Chains A and B, each alone.
Chain A
Amino acid sequence: MAHGPCRQTFGGCGKAFLVWGTLVKRRIELGLLFSRSGSYSLISEACRSGALAAIARINADPALDVSFAPVERDPGGNADAYGPVCEEILRDTGARHVVGCITSWSRKEVIPTVEKFGGTLWYAVPYEGFEASDHVVYTHACPNQHLLPLLDWVMPAHGRRAYLTGSNYIWGWEMNRLARERITAAGGEVLGERYLPIGSREVGRMIEEVRFARPNFILNSLIGPSSYEFMAAYRALGTEDEAFRPDRCPVLSCNVTECELPALGPAAEGLVAAGPYFRGVAGWPGEGNFGSSHEAAAFAAVMELARLLAGREGAENWPLSQLLAGDRGRGIVDPETHHTVLPVIIARVEGGAFKALQRWDAVAGDPYLTRSRSSPARVLRVVS
């Protein structure tokens, strides 16, 4: 790992000195908990590179008195390994903050551990909401920042007859529950809802159901290979019957970003996704040259942690509540919900890249859907 040029030999004991006019950095261990193998490794790699880019930036910044030393552990895509592996980080190293987890399943496994050790998980992936742990910061989008604006976009544009898919765990279940609630409340209809075990490629039944149900749109909350297989099979269906071409009956996703486009190939064409960032979009912290929103959200998480720790000696050992209380709401993290204010962008894959269709500049995360009673439709602007 690159260390900052001013990380002198006496850094690391928590004291900041001024040497030759530059700040001496406190060396702070930072846990990275990403699965580099398994069915969602592309997302792990995107988050990991965002976190590492932020660490490099912070370590090279002479104006900051902190540097991060990553402590990496790889649960290998096994949900049951996350809790023990996270405990290893918090028990055996000095790290109190961990950036990591991709699936909600793994996040739920890790929360009791961070709670037990007074640690903090920085979670940089879109998720299904209805959580606000005192020990987690959520730097990617929750449903009022992805699913609800996406449904508000699709129903007037394409119709209200939906087919819902998902991987068989909490992300898919909750996304589809909420989608069903919103679609039926809007007078629409859910024609089918089907799940696949994580990693399964058995999409034949779903495709047949879609063929017979003839929906106006499909919500795809599958992850990894299931999603890649489904998109490829749906593209084939579209060449057979033009009612299933993406311009007629689009597939929607709240979890596909650029990091999975190489795995999807031409099958991604026409997919419509919601997210806080797509490549080339301006207005994101940092330079905005991230490969995907996963990378951007992990980068933002580490940068925000560095800002919270900078100039506050010993703060690296504080619990999140204390860090935020002292900060008085100056940062990106809402001290009540630990969610962040994010842009909301709806974008379509065209020629292998996302092209923005609609954008809202700043939407606060509302995990329990109790703060914003309607979606932010009134402040939207159309991006052409």
Chain B
Amino acid sequence: MKRRAIRIPNLGGARAIILHRPHTTVQALTRQLAAIGLQVTQAWPDLGPEALAADYIFFDADLGHDAMFPWDTGQPPIPMIALIGSEAPGRIEWSLKAGSHAQLLKPVGDSGAYSALLIARDAFDAQQALSAEISDLRRRLDERQTVVRAVTLLAARGKTEAEAYAQLRQMAMAWRISFEDAAARIVAAQGGMDDRSERG
């Protein structure tokens, strides 16, 4: 699959929260983020509801735990960047489960924040796009039976299966709805007729 082009976000005025105890790492990261143009706040030991208005979360992977985020484990609604000091496998595992999209190694120095922001944003967007695509495919899979019924109904009027299929596609286009929604509409509309024919 061809990778889509990365979108360089405009970070001017974007809000970042650093979920980390007061530390030189927070200072260095704040300097970098402010230079880039973000508004930065620090939070510890947990994230309040203000997190829902943020654009990026940087969180401590060393002392972090699930309860410090105000959302279901691993379901962050915004890009998350892990601040990793200890590279112990258990901590890496936890930060991945928490849903991190990028990481920065501690101690944070003079650079790294900009690439972490761009990578986290891109990974988050890609994840969102994939989730949306998967749930759409799942829905279409669920509705496959409806499509088969609609095609059968249309074919029952003397069309071949291929003609019925093409007709359904044209209807969907004319109604400006999805193929599956058009099928559902036909099944619903012809449900009574269908019943009668079965009775007859």
Do the beta carbons of A336 and B35 come within 8 Å of each other? Answer: yes
Do the beta carbons of B110 and A368 come within 8 Å of each other? Answer: no
Do the beta carbons of A371 and B110 come within 8 Å of each other? Answer: no
In the complex, B12 has a CB within 8 A of chain A: yes
Q: In the complex, what distance in Å separates the CA atom of A371 from the CA atom of B36?
A: 9
Do the beta carbons of B10 and A133 come within 8 Å of each other? Answer: no
Which residues of A lie under 8 Å from residue B109 when comparing CB positions? 115
Which residues of A lie under 8 Å from residue B111 when comparing CB positions? 111, 133
Checking B28, B31, B114 against A368 with a beta-carbon cut-off of 8 angstroms, the contacting residue is B114
Which residues of A lie under 8 Å from residue B8 when comparing CB positions? 181
Q: Say how far A347's CB is from chain B's closest CB, in angstroms.
A: 29
Interface string of A124-146 (1 = CB under 8 A from B): 00000010111100000000000
Do the beta carbons of A370 and B10 come within 8 Å of each other? Answer: yes
Q: Say how far A66's CB is from chain B's closest CB, in angstroms.
A: 27
Interface string of B145-185 (1 = CB under 8 A from A): 00000000000000000000000000000000000000000
CB under 8 Å from chain B, chain A span 83-115:
111, 115
Do the beta carbons of A135 and B110 come within 8 Å of each other? Answer: yes
Select from chain B the residue with minimum beta-carbon distance to A108: B111
Which residues of A lie under 8 Å from residue B10 when comparing CB positions? 369-370, 373
Q: In the complex, what distance in Å separates the CA atom of A269 from the CA atom of B122?
A: 44
In the complex, B43 has a CB within 8 A of chain A: no
In the complex, B37 has a CB within 8 A of chain A: yes
Q: Say how far B136's CB is from chain A's closest CB, in angstroms.
A: 29
In the complex, A337 has a CB within 8 A of chain B: yes
Which residues of B lie under 8 Å from residue A369 when comparing CB positions? 10, 12
Known A-B contacts A134-B31, A181-B8; A370 and B110 likewise in contact (beta carbons under 8 Å): no
Do the beta carbons of B110 and A133 come within 8 Å of each other? Answer: yes
Do the beta carbons of B12 and A337 come within 8 Å of each other? Answer: no
Which residues of A lie under 8 Å from residue B123 when comparing CB positions? none
CB under 8 Å from chain A, chain B span 122-149:
none
Known A-B contacts A111-B110, A133-B110, A133-B111; A370 and B11 likewise in contact (beta carbons under 8 Å): yes
Known A-B contacts A134-B31, A337-B35, A368-B36; A373 and B12 likewise in contact (beta carbons under 8 Å): yes
Chain A interface size, as a band, is: 10 to 19
In the complex, B34 has a CB within 8 A of chain A: yes
Which residues of A lie under 8 Å from residue B32 when comparing CB positions? 132
Q: In the complex, what distance in Å separates the CA atom of A132 from the CA atom of B31?
A: 10
CB under 8 Å from chain A, chain B span 61-119:
109-111, 114
In the complex, B48 has a CB within 8 A of chain A: no
Select from chain A the residue with minimum beta-carbon distance to B36: A368
Known A-B contacts A181-B8, A370-B13, A373-B12; A115 and B36 likewise in contact (beta carbons under 8 Å): no
Q: In the complex, what distance in Å separates the CA atom of A368 from the CA atom of B118?
A: 12
Q: Say how far A336's CB is from chain B's closest CB, in angstroms.
A: 5
Select from chain B the residue with minimum beta-carbon distance to A367: B35
Q: Which residues of B contact A (CB under 8 A)?
A: 8, 10-13, 28, 31-32, 34-38, 109-111, 114
Task: Report 18 cross-chain contacts, Cβ distance below 8 Å, ordered by A residue.
Answer: A115-B110, A130-B114, A132-B35, A134-B28, A134-B110, A135-B110, A181-B8, A321-B31, A336-B35, A368-B12, A368-B35, A368-B36, A368-B114, A369-B10, A370-B10, A370-B38, A371-B37, A373-B10
Supplied contacts A111-B110, A336-B34, 15 more A-B pairs, CB within 8 Å: A134-B31, A134-B110, A181-B8, A336-B35, A338-B35, A368-B36, A368-B37, A368-B114, A370-B11, A370-B12, A370-B38, A371-B12, A371-B37, A373-B10, A373-B12
The 7 closest A-B pairs by CB, nearest first: A370-B37, A370-B12, A132-B35, A368-B36, A134-B110, A337-B35, A115-B110
